[in-house]
């Protein structure tokens, strides 16, 4: 199952980049250099996850696999292995940042993964301390749960009216509509009800 969510507008850009200005004696003027700190930031998140969840036995850092600022981890629990990746993008001279998280679980759709549910919610709550906005993009686990629950909710909503209708017919007989509507029925409607 795949879960993908994105965080926008980091509160402190210093968590993922450091900026340093130095005077260049050869050319004159200042040179601005940026140092990427995202690897340490993502590593601290994974360390916090490991300390919070007793189910996590360990994790492996696979490095920046797809491109720079794309951090890949494998989280191992007592029963499953999860893939967790962070992608950090910056815009407008690093005053705005975006963090895309993809969490993949080997669980099939026939099994609801309770750990995955706790994991994604805790991760979101933890990161909202550093970021202003969280947007859920894909949540296959919730989609599956919704598909399972919809027929039950639909059945619960639809069944009471026929049951109520049967009860009213038994209690009031076939004239229950006239009793309920009273004088609001038009003459034509009243004639149609005489066949009940």
Q: What is the pLDDT of residues 159-180, one digit of tens each?
A: 656 666 666 667 766 665 566 5
C-alpha atoms less than 13 angstroms from C-alpha of 40 in its C-beta half-sphere: 8
Q: Using CB atoms within 10 Å of the CB of residue 82, give its burial: 0 to 12 exposed, 13 to 18 middle, 19+ buried.
A: buried
Both tokens of 21, joined, read: 């200005």
Residue 150 maps to a domain: no
**pLDDT tens-digit profile of 106-155?**
766 567 788 888 999 999 999 999 999 888 888 888 888 888 777 776 66
The CATH number linked to 57 is 3.30.310
pLDDT (0 to 100) of residue 191:
44
pLDDT (0 to 100) of residue 155:
67
Q: In which domain, by residue range, is 175 found?
A: 159-193
**pLDDT tens-digit profile of 66-102?**
888 888 999 999 888 898 998 888 876 655 667 777 7
Both 45 and 131 in one domain: the answer is yes
d(CA 193, CA 196): 6
Domain count, the chain: 2
Asked if 23 contacts 29 with a C-beta cutoff of 8 angstroms, the reply is: yes
């Amino acid at each position: 199952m795949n879960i993908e969510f994105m965080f926008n507008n980091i509160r402190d850009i210093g968590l993922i980049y450091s900026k340093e200005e130095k005077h260049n004696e050869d050319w004159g003027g200042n040179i601005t250099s940026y140092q990427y700190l995202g690897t340490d930031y993502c590593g601290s998140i994974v360390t916090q996850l490991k300390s919070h969840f007793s189910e996590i036995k360990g994790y492996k850092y696979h490095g920046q696999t797809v491109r720079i600022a794309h951090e890949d981890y494998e989280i191992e629990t007592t029963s499953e292995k999860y893939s967790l990746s962070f992608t950090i993008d910056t815009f407008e001279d690093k005053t705005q940042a975006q963090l895309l998280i993809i969490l993949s679980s080997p669980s099939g759709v026939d099994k609801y993964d309770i750990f995955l549910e706790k994991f994604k919610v805790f991760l979101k709550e933890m990161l909202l301390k550093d970021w202003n906005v969280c947007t859920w993009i894909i949540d296959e686990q919730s989609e599956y749960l919704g598909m399972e629950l919809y027929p039950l909710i639909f059945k619960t909503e639809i069944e009471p009216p026929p049951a109520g209708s049967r009860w009213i017919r038994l209690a009031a007989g076939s004239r229950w509509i006239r009793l309920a509507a009273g004088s609001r029925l038009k003459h034509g409607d009243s004639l149609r009800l005489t066949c009940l």
